[in-house]
Structure 1
Amino acid sequence: MNTAVNLSPKHLLLALLIVVIWGTNFVAIALGLKEMPPFLFCAFRFGFSALPFVFFLPRPQAPLKYIIAFGVFNFALQFGLLFTGIHLGLSPGLASLVIQVQVFFSIGLAFLFFKEKPSFLKVLGSLISFLGIVIVASNIGGDVTIIGLTLTICAALAWSSGNLITKKINAQSPLSLVVWGNLAAFPFMALASFFIDRPNAIASSIQNISWIGIAALAYVVYMSTHLGYGLWGFLLKTYSTSAVVPFTFLIPVVGFISSVFFLREEFTVWKFWASFLILAGLVFNLFEKKILKCIRMNKLNKRIKSLK
């Protein structure tokens, strides 16, 4: 693993591509949820993400319990909770923002289990970004519901747990891990859909699905899941968690912009400040070395001036 904080230019572009894919993914989720209940949507996602690819990609060389845990936390729990949170009233743009609390969970869990000690600037950046989440929580009502916000925060915790399991598995092929993880998540979500969504709602959704619903499902399967998670697993394998995870701070920016453009979601002043604080925290995380270098140069110049 490369323990350097800064990503190479090529890998930086990959990280930004993931941001765009996952940011616009919230639009696809909102469109899909208009035609399918959340658990059915998730079950379709996991099923099409796994099949027929499991027949062509070898199972990751890891204990089966880790692969199942990866599928449960990174897919079944994360997206089951996220889709339900959006379905129960949290707007897609805000969901893309709130899910970023996974950064705090990821860095904290990485410190506890992998001894990846975050620097002072990373902690400071995380605290600044957390203020943005506080602003969201203080605006309950309208497109922010308590149940939607709570479920999305729980989804963030599931995502961060999945990040740790990803590092534990250390799969040679990140795409293979994604495909097998979806296979592990599928039966859990299929059962949840059967007992919660109920067979009548399932049949009605399948019979009345439009091309928009099909396109939304295709996007979350092939773009968000296969391409996005395949690249994400590669970056987590190559760099430390604290170097990769902060890029997800950019996802709500793309999420808000795409939601405003495609879904006509209102972008209020408080949403602007919440997004601004999250971006400010990202700056501290991404440009830590440059900030420290500037501080040292400033101290050095002061010493030189004092000697004169």
Structure 2
Amino acid sequence: MRPRHLALAVAVAAIWGFNFVAIDAGLDHFPPLMFSALRFGLAAFPALLLVGRPQVPWRWVIAVALILGVTKFSLLFAGMAAGMPAGLSSLVLQSQAIFTMLFAVLFLRERPRRIQIAGLAVAVTGVLVVATRMGANLPAFLLVIGAAVAWGLSNVATRKASPPDSLRFMVWVSALATGPLVVLSLLIDGPSADLAALRAINTEALLSLLYIALVSTLAGFAGWGLLLRVYGAATVAPFSMLVPFFGIASAAVFLGEPVYLVDVLGGVLVVGGVLLGLVRGDLFSGRRLVRVEA
């Protein structure tokens, strides 16, 4: 990998890692579902007017919008709002690789190699280690695990869609996710809570919203898509394992979150297990299914 592309890969991982700090800051002001709706709405417009049609069948755009945009991020934001630490959330979400493999076996008839199964078994162990510390707030932990499940399912749907332009695809996914999220926010968060948050918006809330919509979503996926086109998933995917390290480090620096030994141990197992499955090529017998979104 050329030095400038290597720097880009690390920069994207850093952007997505810091994203969890921005989410934490935004959730201090916005209700979770409203925050997610605003995020996707801002990511979609006005970019939607510039990118053209998604270049894949609409059923896959709708499916990924509902699974990834609505379900995954609603569960993630709800889990973090319920008390799941930002840094730990960035780590636990990497368990998506486990669920991606399971769904790929079920729906794509993939046959993972033994080394891949062993690697994901190590990753499962890491998630269980982290779960031991979250016993006091297990519901928040399970919400983030649910987000990882949805992410794994969306990976398989995205693989089936095979969009030639990942940025364009993500803009349309964001656009189609916005409407259902607005409806859910009105029904669950309530109109009064949404209106109060909009009236009391401050600089910190606005900056966090702009960061996750424009920097993390649009700029992040533009850079990631470029790397995938130049080098392929087998080369680029391992850089996603840097996301939890940047997430935990930035949460410690900017939010003052303590870093516990059990978190470090669990993180090493999760990241090491996923990387083990990549040692001899793509995660799934030549299929390029490893994708990262934040």
TM-score (norm 1): 0.83
Q: Is the 8 A contact 2:33 2:181 kept in 1?
A: yes
Q: What residue in structure 2 maps to residue 54 of structure 1?
A: 48
Query: Which sections of structure 1, spanning at least 5 residues, go unmatched?
Result: 1-6, 290-308
CA separation of 1:121/1:283 partners in 2, compared to 1, >3 Å: closer, same or farther?
same
Q: What residue in structure 1 maps to residue 213 of structure 2?
A: 221
1:172 counterpart (164, 183, 186): 164
Give the letter for the 1:61 counterpart: Q
Q: Is the 8 A contact 1:32 1:216 kept in 2?
A: yes
Q: Is the 8 A contact 1:106 1:241 kept in 2?
A: no
Give the letter for the 1:31 counterpart: A
Give the letter for the 1:18 counterpart: V
1:42 counterpart (36, 39, 42): 36
Deviations 1:55-113 (A, max 9, x none): 11111122222111111112111111100000011111111111111011113323444
- More displaced 10-residue stretch of structure 1: 239-248 or 180-189: 239-248
Deviations 1:38-64 (A, max 9, x none): 011001001111111111111112222
Aligned length: 281
Q: Is the 8 A contact 1:167 1:236 kept in 2?
A: no
Q: Is the 8 A contact 1:40 1:189 kept in 2?
A: yes
Q: Is the 8 A contact 1:67 1:177 kept in 2?
A: yes
CA separation of 1:134/1:156 partners in 2, compared to 1, >3 Å: closer, same or farther?
same
2:144 counterpart (130, 152, 155): 152
- More displaced 10-residue stretch of structure 1: 240-249 or 184-193: 240-249
What does 1:111-126 correspond to in 2, within 5 Å?
A: 111-126=105-120
Q: Secondary structure at the match of 2:51?
A: coil
What does 1:205-284 correspond to in 2, within 5 Å?
A: 205-232=197-224, 245-284=237-276
Looking at CA atoms only, which structure, 1 or 2, has the larger radius of gyration?
A: 1
CA separation of 1:287/1:9 partners in 2, compared to 1, >3 Å: closer, same or farther?
farther
1:163 is aligned to 2:164: no
Q: Is the 8 A contact 1:85 1:151 kept in 2?
A: yes
Give the letter for the 1:258 counterpart: S
Q: What residue in structure 1 maps to residue 20 of structure 2?
A: 26
Q: 1:167 deviation in Å? A: 2.1
CA separation of 1:95/1:44 partners in 2, compared to 1, >3 Å: closer, same or farther?
same
CA distance in 1, matches of 2:84, 2:261: 17
CA separation of 1:31/1:198 partners in 2, compared to 1, >3 Å: closer, same or farther?
same
1:188 counterpart (180, 203, 206): 180
Query: Which sections of structure 2, spanning at least 5 residues, go unmatched?
Result: 282-294
- More displaced 10-residue stretch of structure 1: 235-244 or 74-83: 235-244
Give the letter for the 1:201 counterpart: A
1:133 is aligned to 2:120: no
CA distance in 1, matches of 2:224, 2:91: 18
CA separation of 1:235/1:155 partners in 2, compared to 1, >3 Å: closer, same or farther?
farther
Question: Taking every aligned residue pair, what percent have the same amino acid on both sides?
Answer: 34
Give the letter for the 1:48 counterpart: L
Q: 1:17 deviation in Å? A: 3.1
Q: Is the 8 A contact 2:95 2:270 kept in 1?
A: no
What does 1:45-124 correspond to in 2, within 5 Å?
A: 45-124=39-118
CA separation of 1:73/1:252 partners in 2, compared to 1, >3 Å: closer, same or farther?
same
- More displaced 10-residue stretch of structure 1: 15-24 or 205-214: 15-24
Q: Secondary structure at the match of 1:171?
A: coil
